[in-house]
Amino acid sequence: MRRILTALLFASIIAGCAEFESLTLHPVTGKVTRQGQPVKDGGLIFIPTQAGKKVFTANASVTGGTFEARTDRTSASGKTKIENGMPAGTYKAIYHPASNGSKSGLEVELQTFEVKPGGNEVAFELPEKMPTGKGEPRDDDPSHKAASNPGKSD
């Protein structure tokens, strides 16, 4: 009985590990400033400039002007894996101000940068003139649909 349990445990560990393709990640940290001052908060999205077979999302939270990038992946079975670092390659950086994610149109495209094997330190300077206003409601935000159609449910 003990051998069977051990074999089942070992098989489940192997299956869990095989659920995600191997992806080599490299540390990416940095600073975000505006007019020479650290940006209080916000987020960064990193979009690969070259097409690739591996599907992932690379992003970072900005706190006190600093960030550490991470890579998120979702398996075919719906499991999520979040790890620090990013795959080597060239990326376009996009900054978005802190929010609950319900607005769009306030993003700022920043420079393209390269992630190389080993450690990477990147500095982003936001433009003096940032998008203004409250942004546009996202079409997939349920709270916006409820607010624009009171008394109507989906």
Element (H, E) at 101: none
Q: Return the CATH number of 23-128, one of 2.60.40.10, 1.10.150.120, 3.30.1380.20, 2.30.42.10.
A: 2.60.40.10
Would you kindly state where each structural domain of the chain is located, as residue ranges?
A: 23-128
In terms of pLDDT, which residue wins out, 23 or 116? Answer: 116
Q: For 115-140, what is each residue's pLDDT tens digit?
A: 999 899 999 999 998 887 665 665 65
pLDDT at 9 over 60: no
In this prediction the pTM is 0.72
Q: For 89-119, what is each residue's pLDDT tens digit?
A: 999 999 998 876 666 778 899 999 999 998 9
Residue 78 Rama label (left phi>0; alpha psi -120 to 50; beta)? left
- Assess contact for 32 and 62: CB atoms under 8 A: yes
